[in-house]
Amino acid sequence: MNVSFLLQSEILQALGIAILHSLWQTCVIWLIYKVLTNGIRSLTSSTKNMLGTAAIFVSFSIFIYTFVSSLYTGEGAAANESFVVQSAGAINDTWLVSILGASLSKLAAFLPYLSAGYIFLLVFLMIKLVVSFRHVYLLTHHHLLSPPHFLDNFTKTAASQMKISRKIAIWLSEKIDVPATIGFFKPVILIPVASLNNLNVSQLEAIILHELAHIKRNDFVINILISVAETILFFNPFIALLSKAVKEERENCCDDNVINYRYDPQTYANALLSIARSFKASPQLALAAVSGKKQLFQRIRRITGNPLASQQLNYGQKLLALIAVTTIICSISWIVPGKHPVHAGSPVVSPPVIATGDETKSGEGSIIERMKELT
> Residue 180: helix, strand or coil by DSSP?
strand
Output the pLDDT for position 202: 92
**What string of pLDDT tens digits covers the 375 residues of the chain?**
555 555 567 888 889 989 999 999 999 999 999 999 999 989 999 999 999 999 999 999 999 999 999 888 765 544 445 544 444 444 454 544 455 455 556 666 778 888 999 999 999 999 999 999 999 999 998 889 999 999 999 999 999 999 999 999 999 998 888 899 999 889 999 999 988 888 999 999 999 999 999 999 999 999 999 999 999 999 999 999 999 999 999 999 999 999 988 888 888 999 998 888 877 777 777 888 877 667 788 888 888 876 444 444 454 555 555 665 665 555 555 455 444 443 444 443 344 443 444 444 445 555 555 555 555
Angle (CA) 80-82-84 rounded to 5° is 70
Kind and range of the H or E run holding 65 = helix 45-72
* Distance in angstroms (rounded) separating the CA atoms of residues 76 and 73: 8
* Distance in angstroms (rounded) separating the CA atoms of residues 218 and 212: 10
CB-based contacts of 356, cutoff 8 Å, min separation 6: none
| CB neighbour class for 302 (10 Å; exposed up to 12, middle 13-18, buried from 19) | buried
Give the closest residue to 115 by CA, choosing from 25, 7, 26, 24: 7
Output the pLDDT for position 309: 42
Measured over the CA atoms of residue 295, residue 24, residue 221 and residue 215, the dihedral's sign is: positive
CB-based contacts of 203, cutoff 8 Å, min separation 6: 267, 268, 270, 271, 274
Cα 302 from chain centre? 19
* Distance in angstroms (rounded) separating the CA atoms of residues 369 and 72: 60
List strands edge to edge, sheet with 144-145: 144-145, 169-173, 188-192, 180-182, 287-288
pTM of the model: 0.77
Output the pLDDT for position 72: 83
Q: Strand 180-182 to strand 287-288: parallel, antiparallel, or no bridges (unpaired)?
A: antiparallel
Output the pLDDT for position 274: 87
Q: What is the dihedral of CA 265, 292, 244, 221, to 10 degrees?
A: -80
